[in-house]
Amino acid sequence: MNQLRGKAWKFGDDIDTDAIIPARYLNTSDPRELAAHCMEDADPSFAGRVQPGDIIVAGKNFGCGSSREHAPIAIKAAGVSCVIAASFARIFYRNAFNIGLPIFESPEAAAKIQEGDEVAVDVESGTITNLTRNEQYRATPVPPFMQEIIAAGGLINYVARRLNG
């Protein structure tokens, strides 16, 4: 699936991992339980209303704070197809790639996309299309090495292939 498409949910700058999945729910790592509380402290209605394919659009430094992989796991398990942000915190950035949650860095898209806009993303080219406003934005290209990890189906498959030939 090279094309992701969904309705945009808009968030601000510095959305931290506690807002994405509060630590009070981290006594489990079951993706479904985590998804039920996704974005709870930023928007308590999110988990109940998010639709499969929907896209999170946020400002700078998305995913700052904790190393908890539960944050991208919760977003992915909630059905969100990808996250677009002006910038990402570095541990969240790695974690998202490692678990196969597509993320795109684009300050322009983050600024111009509004809540509820219909957005399509071409994963390979990094082209973001705002279908509601008829605009296109470019995402920062992903380093080739990270593309290899994605192509392998995530870090674990990449490592398994390396170790087991």
Partner 1 sequence: MPMTITEKILAAHAGLDRVEPGQLINVRVDLVLGNDITAPVAIKEFRRIGVEKVFDRERVVLVPDHFVPNKDIKSAEQAKILRDFARQQQLTHYFEVGRMGIEHCLLPEQGLVGPGDVVIGADSHTCTYGALGAFATGVGSTDLAAAMALGEIWLKVPESIKFVYYGELQPWVGGKDLILYTIGQIGVDGALYQAMEFTGPAIETLSMDGRLTMANMAVEAGAKNGIVPPDEITLDYVKGRARRPYRVYQSDPDARYARVYEFDVSKLEPQVAFPHLPSNVRPVSQAGHVEIQQVVIGSCTNGRLEDLRLAARVLQGKKVHPDVRLIVIPGTQEVYRTALKEGLIEIFIDAGAAVSTPTCGPCLGGHMGILAAGERCLATTNRNFVGRMGHPESEVYLSNPAVAAASAILGRIAAPQEVL
Residues that bind partner 1 (CB under 8 A): 14, 16, 18-19, 22-24, 26-29, 40-42, 44, 60-61, 64-70, 72-73, 87, 89-91, 94-95, 98-99, 143, 145, 154-156, 159-160, 162-164
Q: Which is nearer to partner 1, 110 or 119 (CB)?
A: 110
* Strands laid side by side in the 135-138 sheet: 103-105, 82-85, 55-58, 3-10, 118-122, 127-130, 135-138
- For the bound state, the minimum distance from the C-beta of residue 51 to partner 1, rounded and expressed in Å, comes to 24
| For partner 1, the closer CB: 131 or 159 | 159
Dist CA 146 CA 133 (whole Å): 31
Closer to partner 1 by Cβ: residue 50 or 73: 73
Nearest approach, Cβ of 21 to partner 1 (angstroms)?
11
